[in-house]
Amino acid sequence: MKSLALRAHKQRIELACHVATEVPAFVVGDPARVRQLLVNLVGNALKFTEQGEVVVDVRVRSRDDGQAVLHFSVRDTGIGIPDDKQASVFQAFEQVDGSLTRRHGGSGLGLAISTRLVEQMGGRMWLESRVGQGSIFHFEARFGVVEVEPDEIRRVDLSSLHDLKVLVVDDNDTNRLILQEMLASWGMLPTVASRAREGLHMMREALREHRPFRLVLSDTHMPEMDGFMLAEQIGKDPKIGQTAIILLTSGDRPEDMERCEQSGIAAYLLKPVKQSELFDAIVEALEITHEGETAEALMSHHPKLTTPRRILLAEDSVVNQKLAVALLERFGHKVTVANNGREATEAAASDAFDVVLMDIQMPEMDGLEATAKIRAREKTVGRHIPIIAMTAHALKGDRELCLAAGMDDYVSKPIRREELFEKLARLVPDVSPVSVEEEVHGETSNKESAAREGVIDWTQIRDLTGGDSELLKSLIADGLEEASRLLKEIRDSIAKDDREHLRTAAHTLKGSVRYFGADKLFEIIVRLEALARQGNPDEIAEVQRSLENELDVVISLLQSRLKEMS
């Protein structure tokens, strides 16, 4: 929805998404199919709508033992489809109006494919439409239901949000309804205004009645007075100036982000907002922290160490070295880096390692040759160190080649942590195959591993910058500069045990890290920030180590991206 929203907002169409509260937080199904369906339908809706809005809605149609049929609808305010054409649009190569197609492009296949996808998910698809008024495409599909606590949402005590007065300002009716429903579902007391001026008036009235709003949630682009002007007005008025403000932006205007930062806005979110995102932003904006509880919850995410192992990493690429080192050290392992095969054989001769991770292509001596050398030497001393190959291209013969050279197993690059730990566990005793971190999380989460694989979420950044590469460059450059400055501040304040300074430096760093979708780094900083409040020096030192490692990885990735672009 976020990426489609960008396109929608460029067309000045509001794209909203409403997921009814009764829809389970987690379902089991095929995300790729659902995604494709929504992209097809929302894509069509945007294609055939000149003005107005496109609204995606999800509800529960029925629920029975362990399964739910979800009803999705995509409604637009576009040109509509005449009655006599409504049945045929689902057939392949059918288009209502050929001349329109020349304008809009398209293959006439989208809906035929969509219908098939829906049928594969045990559902059906249909439409309602009136020419000149718009269309609603519906589909239903069957999903498994898992009874999992949405821990992200429940972690914070909801009672602190109860009866919290929130003002919602948005000129779009659908958005107001959606936001109102979300807020009410957390027990907050939302009041809505469709214009900024009206919102300001309500704020002053509420203050007069001694029931002020604690939070304003406002759209950015509104007629007459936009979200920034509203924030400015609020800030200028000493009586209401303290109210926290969260802006909803459409992401099609990169300069918005900067303006948000400058005008002291607590947070800005890209539309359409995800419920969990909004929740996090509210908690953060209001600085709701249950000191003890939160820190403890956060600490429980800290991986318990399996038996620390001594690992020799033979790898010539610095980024890959850093990635692998960060990954392994996070689980308490000690890593020694060899930059090529020759260094690897020399290091291995010390017998100081429990396992070797060996890149295949390396300068001076490649991984296959190094392995053969290590094995030859072992014949004379009678031991066998496990060697795991790391190969970039999982070509068919690679495995045989590796095994023939005396390796025990191989992992493909880029390294995925589950695969690596699984292989390590198989060859080295006491390395747990599933990280404890994941067990605590209660999710063998795709999101986590995907985030790891990428470390940085480039899609998010692209969305944020709207494809503006100059902006991206300066964002990265600023990020790098800021990160090194703040890292220094963090080091200094830890050395002096200046907790307040540590906390503010961590907080600032957290803000800029968020841009880059560097989830792991973000988590570490959150932990550090919490520890600054009440952790002991040992804990802080430990988190500092993870921070330095992970920041190294992120920084080197950003630097290489910057290089690629210039």
Q: Would you say 311 and 305 are in contact if contact means Cβ atoms under 8 Å apart? A: no
Helix, strand, coil fractions of the chain, as percent rounded to 5: 50, 20, 30
Instruction: CB nearer to ligand ADP: give 41 or 327.
Output: 41
The separation between the first and the last C-alpha atoms of the chain, rounded to the nearest angstrom, is 31
Tokens (6 digits) for 515: 């841009």
User: Taking the complex as a whole, how short is the minimal distance between the CB of residue 12 and ligand ADP, in angstroms?
Assistant: 17
Nearer of residues 101 and 233 to ligand ADP, judged by Cβ? 101
Amino acid at 239: K
Nearer to ligand ADP, 43 or 511 (CB): 43
Q: Which is nearer to ligand ADP, 57 or 226 (CB)?
A: 57
Contacts of 439 (CB under 8 A, 6+ apart): none
Nearer to ligand ADP among residue 75 and residue 330 (C-beta): 75
Give the residue with the Cβ less far from ligand ADP, 44 or 249.
44
Least spacing, CB of residue 4 vs ligand ADP, in Å: 13
CB of 119 to ligand ADP, least distance (A): 15
Name the minimum Å distance from CB 134 to ligand ADP: 7
| Count of alpha carbons within 13 angstroms of residue 554, beta-carbon side | 34
d(CA 26, CA 444): 13
**CA–CA gap between residue 24 and residue 62 (Å, rounded):** 12
Per the CB < 8 A criterion, the answer to whether 265 and 246 are in contact is yes
Distance separating alpha carbons of residues 437 and 444, to the nearest angstrom: 10
Binding site for ligand ADP (CB under 6 A): 44-45, 48, 76, 78-79, 81, 89, 94-97, 101, 106-112, 135
The minimum distance between CB 102 and ligand ADP, in angstroms, equals 11
Query: What does the block give as tokens for 417?
Result: 């942590």
Structure tokens at 73: 């609808």
Min separation Cβ 97 and ligand ADP, Å: 6
Give the DSSP H/E element, type plus range, for residue 166: strand 165-169
Distance CA(140)–CA(152), nearest Å, equals: 27
- CA-CA-CA-CA torsion sign (267, 273, 276, 277): negative
Of the candidates 360, 355, 354, 341, which has an alpha carbon nearest to the alpha carbon of residue 400? 360
What's the min distance (Å) between Cβ of 35 and ligand ADP?
16
Q: Least Å distance between CB 460 and ligand ADP? A: 28
Task: With beta carbons less than 8 A apart as the criterion, state whether 507 and 527 touch.
Answer: no
As a whole number of angstroms, the distance between CA 452 and CA 513 comes to 15
Q: How far is the CB of 172 from ligand ADP (least distance, A)?
A: 19
Q: Which is nearer to ligand ADP, 80 or 190 (CB)?
A: 80
Nearer to ligand ADP, 48 or 516 (CB): 48
| Closer by beta carbon to ligand ADP, 133 or else 185 | 133
